[in-house]
Amino acid sequence: MELAPQLRRIGNDLVAVHLILTDEGITVIDTGLPGHYRDLRRELEAIGRSLSDIRGVVLTHGDSDHTGFAERLRAELGIPVYVGADDAGRAMGEKPPSPPKDRRRLGPVLRFFAYAISKGGVSMPKVAQVESVSDGDVLPLPGDPVIIGMPGHSPGSVAIHVPAVRAVFVGDALTTRSVLTGVEGPQPAPFTDDWSAASRSIERLVGLDVDWVIPGHGAPWVGGVSALVAAYRAAESA
């Protein structure tokens, strides 16, 4: 679906993938679950583009609900897959540490895992080869994505600022809908390795000139960065 003329979304508020469209080609932000590959093909067909327009994949981090079809694009089409240096191992299949226990409610948890299974999420998709990125990098891809280091959810979590579409993709640095409780609104994301680092990283978003703050899970946020940070801080201390 179209969020803006050059910005499209695949998937839903449980797990989402985004496309940046320019005349130079397409940048894919996160690759969801393996089954989202079919949704990608359908989306490209609907807008008259093809897989060969894709110039690169940028992952917000290396968790398996974000690496879905990255390896398929890399192996079959030679498309480079960029990920924060400290998450390269995770994207390539290293097991993450078990995060601290999160609050959860049975209904939302079942809905999330049922969706993940329906999209092939049990196969734990690894990427065989990645390009490491770091804070401040500007990637040679459509939309000129800028990398912002956001350690916390995982050590190599990054936000991806794409001025061309006035958006920042934050992955699981925060969420606007907890997949574990169903609670909506900006808040710390579940399955986070280091809560205090994640909390500090939120400050990196302050001052960004964007219309969209787009998490990996939950609705895109269009209320501005200041309101987002305030809502996050309120949720954090609740």
Residues that bind Zn ion (CB under 5 A): 65, 172, 216
The residue ranges of DSSP E strands in 103-174, in sequence order, are 131-133, 146-149, 158-162, 167-171
CA distances from 20 to 112, 145, 148, 161, 177 (A): 26, 10, 18, 11, 23
The secondary structure element, H or E, covering residue 237 is helix 225-237
Cβ burial, residue 138 (10 Å; 0-12/13-18/19+): exposed
CA distance 83 to 71: 13
CB of 146 to Zn ion, least distance (A): 21
Residue 38 phi/psi, 5° resolution?
-65, -40
Instruction: Kindly tell me which of 68 and 216 has the beta carbon lying closer to Zn ion.
Output: 216
CB of 175 to Zn ion, least distance (A): 8
CB of 225 to Zn ion, least distance (A): 21
Instruction: Kindly tell me which of 71 and 172 has the beta carbon lying closer to Zn ion.
Output: 172
CB of 15 to Zn ion, least distance (A): 7
Instruction: Kindly tell me which of 21 and 173 has the beta carbon lying closer to Zn ion.
Output: 173
CB of 91 to Zn ion, least distance (A): 13
Instruction: Kindly tell me which of 65 and 142 has the beta carbon lying closer to Zn ion.
Output: 65
CA distance 109 to 181: 7
Instruction: Kindly tell me which of 86 and 172 has the beta carbon lying closer to Zn ion.
Output: 172
Contact indicator for 3, 9 with CB cutoff of 8 Å = yes
CB of 64 to Zn ion, least distance (A): 9
The secondary structure element, H or E, covering residue 72 is helix 70-77
* 202, 205, 211, 217 alpha-carbon torsion, rounded to 10°: -30
CB of 61 to Zn ion, least distance (A): 8
Instruction: Kindly tell me which of 84 and 216 has the beta carbon lying closer to Zn ion.
Output: 216
Instruction: Kindly tell me which of 125 and 216 has the beta carbon lying closer to Zn ion.
Output: 216
The secondary structure element, H or E, covering residue 57 is strand 54-58
